[in-house]
Amino acid sequence: MALRGTRSSWSALAGLLAALLLFAAPAAAKSRSVLILPFTPIDLGREEQWLGEGVAESLRLSLAQLPSLVQIERGRLRSATQLDGWDEQSALAAARALNADLTVYGEVRRSSGELSIQPRLVDLTGGGNPARTNLDAIAVPEGKLMERLRPLPVAYAKAMKITVSEAEAGRMQKFAAPTTSTRAYEAYIKGQIASYRNNQEGNETAVELLGRAVELDPQFVVAQYALGVVHQTLGNRWKAAAQFRASTQLDPSYPEPYKALGDLFLTAPRRLFDQAIEAYAKALELRPFYSDAYAGLGDANAAKGDIDGAVNAYQKALANNPYNPRVHVSLGKIYYGEKQLYYEAVNSYKKAIDLDPRYVEARLGLAEVYEEKGLYQDAIGEYKKVVEQDDKHTGALYNMALVYEKVDPREAIALWERYIKLAGPLPTEKDWVDVAVLHLRKLKSQYKD
């Protein structure tokens, strides 16, 4: 591998092409991707604005119980804070931008003092004009929000023409109203909204609000888990683990905290791979179609050197969720990083980018493959797209400077200077900066004005 492969920190995985075929997951029923948008608050006071996100979160939690639906991650919804809310036109535009088959949205409003929820659905799977459905409006008497949220996901499943078993309906209704306390749910939703800011201040606010939700309802399992997720984001591993374990004790049938514990074990300083595999397996026992748990299991098996097990898990992850760009990237690394399967690797990375054009790791991987095949302009194009998204991405700048040395040394000089200025103050970049200085010095001696 060239220096750039080290820079990208690819995992060293060894495997045989035959394993890809031998352990391919069996065909699964075709799933559909669903985008769940915050409901638009209409004529609500400031103290009730959270209700729009509250209805959407209820649907996210409950529709996750259906194997035929794959939710588009909330984090990919870049324009979720738009002031005008989500109407039919903007919901349809978001669905097309994110390649969603179905879009769930609606309004929460007050009319003559009465609170009501108007659920809406757009289906883009027909191939022609989108099919629009207005579900029956739900009247919400004072103090009855959680009760009235319970039947909503089942109504949506019916509108989507999904057959729901009695057990699935029970789980959906359970998670549609994960607490009996409206005040606890309000604190939970406000905590989630704060965490969506994706910065230190937002996460610290989220910890406070989610902690309040747990205080108001100590049995609020989902809030316990969400608090652990924010602690993990903040780097508080022990607090995160405590919250995840508390969640499993309160509800041993809830798979998310087991998957989260697997992630913690996998990234622990001592790399507790066996414990991670055990946690992922428990999550999959509870939810056999849990794609993210399969992806984690693949990572854990790969880290242990069990390549057959890793490929098997990645294939099952994609069988249950073909829309997961991270798994396509993992397979891209195997295809090219170890087997030098150029076309398979390029296709995997391109699939990841099609699913999420802002997925930096996919573009970096694709750029490295292009570069090592001598397609320098294609590689530069991918690195440029990364820098356009994040002009402080030191890795992309470093790699792009290396490529420009082969096609335009003077531009490489400018890029090395830019990289050194940006990365120089960063302790983690010291060794890379030292190498960059040597490159810059050599180029300047060769191309004096």
Strands 114-123, 131-134: pairing kind: antiparallel
In percent, how much of the chain has pLDDT > 90? 73
* pLDDT at 396 exceeding the cut of 90: yes
pLDDT tier for residue 1 given thresholds of 50, 70 and 90 = very low
Between the CA atoms of 137, 141, 144 and 145, what dihedral angle is there, to the nearest 10 degrees?
Answer: 50
Q: What average pLDDT does range 442-448 have in this prediction? A: 84
d(CA 124, CA 381): 32
At 120 the three-state DSSP class reads strand
User: How high is the pLDDT of residue 449?
Assistant: 58
The model's pLDDT over 213-257, given as tens digits with 9 standing for 90+, comes to 999 999 999 999 999 999 999 999 999 999 999 999 999 999 999
What's the Cα-to-Cα distance from 404 to each of 374, 387, 416, 424, rounded to whole Å? 12, 15, 10, 20
Half-sphere exposure of 235 (CA within 13 A, CB side): 3
pLDDT tier for residue 356 given thresholds of 50, 70 and 90 = confident
User: How high is the pLDDT of residue 78?
Assistant: 61
The model's pLDDT over 105-143, given as tens digits with 9 standing for 90+, comes to 999 998 877 899 999 999 998 777 899 999 999 999 988
d(CA 120, CA 34): 13
pLDDT tier for residue 84 given thresholds of 50, 70 and 90 = low
pLDDT tier for residue 4 given thresholds of 50, 70 and 90 = very low
The model's pLDDT over 184-209, given as tens digits with 9 standing for 90+, comes to 999 999 999 999 988 999 999 999 99
User: What's the angle, vertex CA 126, arms to CA 291 and CA 356, rounded to 5?
Assistant: 40
d(CA 76, CA 78): 6
For each of the domains in the chain, give its residue range(s) and CATH number, in order of start. 29-177 (3.40.50.10070)
d(CA 98, CA 408): 36
Secondary element (H or E) of residue 32: strand 32-36
* pLDDT at 76 exceeding the cut of 50: yes
d(CA 332, CA 97): 24
The model's pLDDT over 336-349, given as tens digits with 9 standing for 90+, comes to 877 778 998 999 99
Q: Which of 96-100, 259-263, 271-275, 305-309 comes out lowest in average pLDDT?
A: 305-309
Neighbours of 92 (CB within 10 A): 18
* pLDDT at 448 exceeding the cut of 80: no
